[in-house]
Amino acid sequence: MKSLRLALALALVAPVCLACASTPSADTPSPGTTATATSAAAEDEDAALPPSDVPEIVKREETATKYVGVLKTAPSDEQAARVAMSGISEEVFQLPPGLRKAMEAVWSGQADASQTGTIALAAADEDQIIKQSMARWCGRAWTEFHPAFEKLTPKEKTKTLLVDCGGAKLLKVDTALAEHLNWGAVLFSMSTVTLLEARGRISKDERTLARKIAHAFRDDQKS
């Protein structure tokens, strides 16, 4: 039986279908561990994972596969991103409650594009794994990166995450999209990939969901 959240995700794209018939520290990283390090795990993403006999892992990966199927019916990457955010925030994926609630505020429409970044940054600030990863990606400790990052314009923030922090490689996003992607969505996406990887096992479909989040509130596509 599909979960209520999956049913809601299906409802998001149904009209179109009918029409077409954790506690690490955030220390300063050593030189050379920025953009290249972000894609180290992603390079093996297509490698087949051995079947798991752990019920919670099986359920998690089956749920991810169902949501990826829904993504294929979405009319745009922007709308698919909302479906992905809805799916990956289910409890079965074991993301921190704060991050799940933050993403729920976005996909449910409680927050608009201008608020997404503030929400994503607050969620990141509460999680040590994310802060440690940001330090590794961006080459500065979180306590140094965060204040400087907040002073940038929205477009500069997106470019910083994608180019300077290696988000383009981690998420397989063309850097040319920096002009159109919402920096908060990109941060949500990078944070989610990181937390899923931190569990020690991430399926291809889970990674697909996490990456698709980066396209929420794209300003070159309609919701």
Residue 25 lies in a domain: no
Q: Under a CB-based contact definition with an 8 Å cutoff, are residues 182 and 65 in contact?
A: no
* Between residues 127 and 45, the one the model is more confident about: 127
Taking 70 as the threshold, does the pLDDT of residue 60 lie above it?
A: yes
Residue 27 lies in a domain: no
Residue 197 lies in a domain: yes
**Would you state the pLDDT for residue 32?**
42
Residue 9 lies in a domain: yes
Domain count, the chain: 1
Residue 221 lies in a domain: no
Taking 90 as the threshold, does the pLDDT of residue 39 lie above it?
A: no
* Between residues 172 and 9, the one the model is more confident about: 172
Average of per-residue pLDDT values in the chain: 82
Taking 60 as the threshold, does the pLDDT of residue 169 lie above it?
A: yes
Residue 116 is part of which domain span?
4-20+34-215
Residue 46 lies in a domain: yes
Taking 50 as the threshold, does the pLDDT of residue 33 lie above it?
A: no
pLDDT in tens, 119-155: 999 999 999 999 999 999 999 999 999 999 999 999 9
> Taking the model in full, what pTM does it have?
0.79
Residue 26 lies in a domain: no
Residue 223 binned pLDDT confidence (cut-offs 50, 70, 90): low
Residue 46 binned pLDDT confidence (cut-offs 50, 70, 90): low
Residue 140 lies in a domain: yes
Return d(Cα 57, Cα 157) in angstroms, integer. 35
